[in-house]
Structure 1
Amino acid sequence: MGEAANMLPVGEVWRLLKKGEVVGEIVIEDGDFPWLSGPVPARSRLRRRAAYAEPRLRVLLPFTSHGTLMFSRCTGFPFSRDVSAIHPLGGGQYAVHHRGEEFSKEPACTAQAAAALVVARMQETWGPAVAGTEHDLRDRETQ
């Protein structure tokens, strides 16, 4: 898989917490990331590694749709729609779409810079993804 593949956290255990209590665990196997059902396609590895390297993104629920890497602050569907998304442009370049703003392919940036842009737009109060849907998340935040 090459030198970069060694950055995968093989054997690491990710825990899903609910109110501080462990409610599930995922063990990362060679070449797998827990939000996918199988190996990470080569074209997606760099972007996913860049996101995983950001501690604040690592605690969210990552998912893809039409090639775009998105993040949710909750684990159930419908997912939250307030975290920025990373779009591949090709040639190792990415664009970040900040929710609520018009999408632009400019400025194009590296995967690491795109992940940093997503984190920069996150509110400080956003923590690990919570069990439940976007509706459950909103109910908790208004209490």
Structure 2
Amino acid sequence: GETIWSHQLAESAPVKQRAEELNHMMTDETIDAVIPPFGGERAIDLLPELTPATYQTKWLLGYSDISTLLLSLTLQTGIATAHGPNFVELRSEEWDETTSAWRRVLATPTGGTVTQWASDRYQSEWTDEERPAGS
């Protein structure tokens, strides 16, 4: 969208402008998937301004506060959404297997199935007093 790199008090643009961008992307037949650049701290503010009944079936991919949009869209429309990397995480020259799984998931045809598995890189517990080496 046009507001991706703008910034106004923790928002890229006013709510109505951000909602108009997403509504446009979700109704534009030339766009196959929407992958927000960041987690979207204020994504919940968009919900009253969205028009999901007009949306084309396409992927919406993201995580963090984008999850608010994912859940809402799926519940209101039945359109599948995907919890995965935001666009800025895709800037690396190389992706690990978990990060690159979004391509396989989004390529799954309607009615197809996706098999998921746990990442081999995970943190099994959190101890505030201990920090991983290099942090």
Whose radius of gyration is greater, 1 or 2? 2
TM over 0.5: no
TM-score (norm 1): 0.24
Higher helix fraction (1 or 2): 2
TM-score normalised by L of structure 2: 0.25
